[in-house]
Chains A and B, each alone.
Chain A
Amino acid sequence: MLEQSQTKVERAILIFTIWASLGFLGLGVFLEGMARDLWALSAVGVSVIVATLVAHIIVNAVFKTGMSRGEATLGIGLYGFLGLVFIASTIGGGMTPADYYAGLTLFGTLAVGFLVYLVARHGLRGAFSHFHHHREMQSNDS
């Protein structure tokens, strides 16, 4: 039991370290691209964020586990929040084309990355069943 919780903490420290160093750096590069109106620079930032995600998944594989519930909630929550900000900014009309494409690159890449992760981890059918089963169980419960 003690060993299990120790392993859990070790994994959490690694994940935290990866996001604090690489993830925030990627975010910085992404914002720098938007500030300078350079799509290519923002794309580099997106690739750093994707690399961070890949590092996260590698750590998960080493510890033979998936994303924790908290991580998934935080990730999806942040994605949704930033997506809303992006949509609001687009409607507001204050974005340059480079900003617009940078945002699309970020959200598009993360969405595709998320699907690829699900398919790679659970298989094509399993990825779908991941949601499908849940609904089936809910309907059975009712």
Chain B
Amino acid sequence: MVWLPLYALVFIVLTLYWARAAALANGNHETWFSARHSLPGWMSAILIAGASLGGLAVLVVPQTLASNSFGMPALLQAGVLLALPGVVFFKRIWLIGQRLRLSSLSELLRVYYRSQFLAIVSALVAVLFAVCFAGLQIRALGSVAAGLSDGALPLEAVSLIFAFVLVGYVVIGGMRAIGYLGTIQSVLGIAALMGITVFAILSIGGIGVLNEGLQALGSDPATSALFAVSGVIQFTAGLGREAAAGHEGTVVANLSLAFALLGMQASPVILKVVLSTSSARAIAAGQTWVLAGAFGALVVLFAGALGAAGLVAPNLTVGPLLSAISPWFSAWAFVGASCAVMVLAGLSLFVAAEALVRTLYKPNFHRSLSTKGTVALARIAVVVLALVSVLMQALTPVTLSALAALALPLAFQLWVPLLGMTWVHWFTRSAVLAGMGFGIAGVLLTDVAGLAILSFLGLDLPWGRWPWTVHSAAWGMLANLSVTILVSLFTQRRSASPEAIDTRRFLGEFLAPSDGVQKLRSTAWSAVLAWFFLAVGPGLVFGNFAFGAADDVWITGIPSQWAWAMLFWILGLGVIWFLAYRMEMASPLAQAVPPHAPAPTLPPHEDDVRFVERARLRALVLTGAIGFGLAVLIALAFGNTGVPQ
């Protein structure tokens, strides 16, 4: 039992060493928030891939496969799905960030749309990622550590250690430390997943034995249905109200889950890395080869195999497996798995603290706060958020899980304002704001947290979580996009902010498509739609039997849905390459970006009575909203709200 504490201690010391190195490179507090926009492209590429896929690949995908089999194969396409928004948005967002000299999504939304509401939504999403989404993953690792130490280390102690390390490096080194350590953590996470998978396969007796076990499960009438998607759609009332026939993994469940995954790259957490990068040169390579290629392979091959091993032998999931192998390996693998989770946890803590202080507190409550004061306050916010997460992990795990489930669907709603900013310039400000409101309502009304809150307030809706087996992300987007398009049609005459007008003109001139790109446009649309249809859409029905039905002979020796996923991962990689390079959506840029003049700032102080009154009203409304939110959260956490699972 000496190996785990030894490895953990070495890891903590080295983490703090790199935090110090980052602080020295920062020089002063001025660069704490953005690392002087100087993160190297290769570092950002690895950091983005690690933050968006690390925890998913090590914990979520294997666990889902082990418990639900291959009914949700869309998860296996996570690499390609996450690279797609990267190709669509990153280059343009980076350019806008450079043009307006801004370094966070909240600031971009506030300046472009002149909207405090969108900035608050962005901050809220960041907080959900920091406190709940990452907190839930840390809790899962805490259980593993408690098992490894035979209960000597309670879950709460592990959570506290995690929080200490995270707070340590984020507070000391800021964005630069996150960049440095995120790179190391991402690679360690990959190595750990590969190692754990190899141990699982060796423990079961090799790939042949694994496939025989899967074949036996496929032939068993009790479990064979789990190897296929259960139809296109089932009109059930949703989880907690009415169970689907067979299982919940329908085609629309897969497709809407894919939409939820698309939310990750539109979140303020990932876009912070993009906006802190020194150049856009590595975006195409990062999204194509690192995320869709290397990390995509990791998910479809290694996480897939680990999940399959857990399906055949329940003692081969991450926790029990680490307890069974040699202590030096289990210590190394545990530290690696922790790293995979910590990449996102550290980054989201930082982004949430920044959003709360720079986007909410400073403009509304304390405009004269100096940069030094802002950094100090953000550091305090990091500590507070980490503490809240630890407390929620220990005291209110159900609420933590319910709120964590909102992070991805709400982040997906940010697609609409991002589309308006980068591609669809006829989306108007009022349409985007209205759409976002409806989108949030759509998510809350179809996910567990919203239903629980309404139930607490005495309103029991006739449906449960994800009605018709459609994920809340898709319900939200349906409402969001419909309202945005409709309202945009009627509000075209309203003028946009000067920054928005300049950004549109600048993007139009700077990224004018070549003739070759224009000719390929229809091909690109066709390729993307065909991939979506076949890889995560209705085409999954073909995947049920394309390589042999569950109870039949498997042509490739592995379940048909798994082989289908591998095939479409390769084709998806081709689609990403095509979009990134041939369509020049993420291709490198040669020219320097001229800054917008004058630089956008907060609206100046005015002494007239109306302005002062408006500022007071804004502060009052914000304080009331925060107070109400906290009251609802406390009621949700400690009141008997009957949260449907």
Stretch binding the partner chain, chosen from B129-137, B326-334, B478-486, B519-527:
B326-334
Q: Which of B180, B188, B328, B329 contacts A20 (CB 8 A)?
A: B188
Q: Which of A5, A24, A27 contacts B25 (CB 8 A)?
A: A5
**B35 → A minimal CB distance (Å):** 11
Which residues in B have their C-beta under 8 angstroms from that of A6?
Answer: 25, 38, 40
Question: Range of interface residues on chain B?
Answer: 20 to 34
Which residues in A have their C-beta under 8 angstroms from that of B184?
Answer: 13, 16-17, 20
Q: Is the interface of B mostly helix, strand, loop or mixed?
A: helix
Does A22 belong to the interface (CB within 8 Å)? Answer: yes
CA gap between A13 and B332 in the complex, in Å = 19
Does B195 belong to the interface (CB within 8 Å)? Answer: yes
Q: A16 with B14: in contact, given A22-B191, A28-B332 (CB under 8 Å)?
A: yes
Which residues in A have their C-beta under 8 angstroms from that of B572?
Answer: none
**A96 → B minimal CB distance (Å):** 17
Does B146 belong to the interface (CB within 8 Å)? Answer: no
Which residues in B have their C-beta under 8 angstroms from that of A24?
Answer: 7, 332
Does B21 belong to the interface (CB within 8 Å)? Answer: yes
Q: Which of B18, B25, B187 contacts A21 (CB 8 A)?
A: B187
Q: Are the CB atoms of B326 and A35 closer together than 8 Å?
A: yes
Q: Which of A13, A25, A32 contacts B183 (CB 8 A)?
A: A13
A24 nearest in chain B by CB position: B332
Q: A28 with B14: in contact, given A9-B25, A17-B184 (CB under 8 Å)?
A: no
Does A110 belong to the interface (CB within 8 Å)? Answer: no
Which residues in A have their C-beta under 8 angstroms from that of B249?
Answer: none
CA gap between A17 and B184 in the complex, in Å = 5
Interfacial residues of chain A within 23-80, with CB under 8 A of chain B in the complex: 24-25, 27-28, 31-32, 35
Does A136 belong to the interface (CB within 8 Å)? Answer: no
Q: Which of A10, A13, A22, A27 contacts B328 (CB 8 A)?
A: A27
Q: A17 with B187: in contact, given A28-B329, A31-B326, A35-B326 (CB under 8 Å)?
A: yes
Q: Is the interface of A mostly helix, strand, loop or mixed?
A: helix
Q: A17 with B40: in contact, given A9-B180, A28-B326, A35-B326 (CB under 8 Å)?
A: no
Which residues in B have their C-beta under 8 angstroms from that of A22?
Answer: 191
Which residues in B have their C-beta under 8 angstroms from that of A13?
Answer: 18, 43, 180, 183-184
**B457 → A minimal CB distance (Å):** 50
Does B263 belong to the interface (CB within 8 Å)? Answer: no
A32 nearest in chain B by CB position: B326
Interfacial residues of chain B within 560-610, with CB under 8 A of chain A in the complex: none
Q: A32 with B329: in contact, given A6-B38, A10-B43 (CB under 8 Å)?
A: yes
**B193 → A minimal CB distance (Å):** 11
CA gap between A20 and B328 in the complex, in Å = 13
Does B417 belong to the interface (CB within 8 Å)? Answer: no
CA gap between A32 and B25 in the complex, in Å = 40
A30 nearest in chain B by CB position: B328
Does B268 belong to the interface (CB within 8 Å)? Answer: no
**B263 → A minimal CB distance (Å):** 29
Does B336 belong to the interface (CB within 8 Å)? Answer: yes
The 0/1 profile, CB within 8 Å of A marked 1, for residues 30-42 of chain B is 0000000010100
CA gap between A32 and B329 in the complex, in Å = 9
**A131 → B minimal CB distance (Å):** 31
Which residues in B have their C-beta under 8 angstroms from that of A16?
Answer: 14, 18, 184
**B543 → A minimal CB distance (Å):** 34
CA gap between A16 and B187 in the complex, in Å = 11
The 0/1 profile, CB within 8 Å of A marked 1, for residues 1-32 of chain B is 00000010000001000100100010000000
Which residues in B have their C-beta under 8 angstroms from that of A31?
Answer: 326, 328
Q: Are the CB atoms of B326 and A17 closer together than 8 Å?
A: no
CA gap between A17 and B191 in the complex, in Å = 10
Q: A25 with B328: in contact, given A5-B25, A17-B183 (CB under 8 Å)?
A: no
Instruction: List 25 A-B pairs, Cβ < 8 Å.
Output: A5-B25, A6-B25, A6-B38, A9-B21, A9-B25, A9-B180, A10-B40, A10-B43, A13-B18, A13-B180, A13-B183, A16-B18, A17-B183, A17-B184, A20-B188, A21-B188, A21-B336, A24-B7, A25-B195, A25-B332, A27-B328, A28-B329, A28-B332, A31-B326, A32-B329
A→B interface (CB under 8 Å): 5-6, 9-10, 12-13, 16-17, 20-22, 24-25, 27-28, 31-32, 35
Q: List 15 additional contacts besides A13-B180, A31-B328, A35-B326; criterion CB under 8 Å.
A: A6-B25, A9-B25, A12-B21, A13-B18, A13-B184, A17-B184, A20-B188, A21-B187, A21-B191, A22-B191, A24-B7, A27-B328, A28-B328, A28-B329, A32-B326
Give 6 nearest A-B pairs by CB, closest first: A21-B191, A17-B187, A28-B329, A28-B328, A17-B184, A24-B332
